[in-house]
Amino acid sequence: MEDKSCPFKIILGSSSIARRKILAEMGYEFTLMSADIDEKDIRKENPEDLVMALAEAKADSILSKLQTIDNQEKDEIPTILIAADTVVIYEGVVREKPANEKEAREFIQGYSGGHAATVGSVLVTNLKTGFRKGAWDRVEIYFHEIPDEIIEKLIEEGTVLHVAGGLIIEHPLIKPYVKQVVGTTDSVMGLPKALTQKLIKEAL
């Protein structure tokens, strides 16, 4: 695999396993830092503004951590910080992580035979130059009918309780019931590759 990590360093400002996996698939080496923010404190009318505001809050939280640690050795090479956020939209309403099993079940039952969308943001900051730019991506997802026993298995397994809208289209149990994805799966998983690549290039 081509090593793209030489001319700059990357910090992925996320604890998401899916985002970690996607960035690694893109061929980058990176370090991880997570943001200490209360996402419920940040409220915006439309989902695009919300995911951008959340990514900015995450980036700011990590920047203040870095200044506290003061480990920004005056490097010759730039460090790129990537922050991201994703929400699910169902019938015009923003859905975050389900509060409990009951809500997760209601969420997934709603997708059955229906449709949902994800809006995901990516925000890239060059810590050396101060350059910062973000953008968002929207994906539409259409579902076949999802049998109740599949929904129960998903709840029992538990991963759906920890993701926005209880939505994991790449999950082996749900995959057969995904009818169509208008957009890219990596965007639904939390990090649109093409957009991330474009923003990294612009930041350097």
Residues with catalytic function: 85
CA–CA separation, 22 vs 19, rounded Å?
Answer: 5
CA–CA separation, 5 vs 3, rounded Å?
Answer: 6
CA–CA separation, 190 vs 16, rounded Å?
Answer: 8
CA–CA separation, 51 vs 119, rounded Å?
Answer: 7
The DSSP symbol for 34 reads -
CA–CA separation, 33 vs 29, rounded Å?
Answer: 14
Q: In whole angstroms, what separates CA 39 from the centre of its chain?
A: 13
Phi, psi of 93 (to 5 degrees): -105, 135
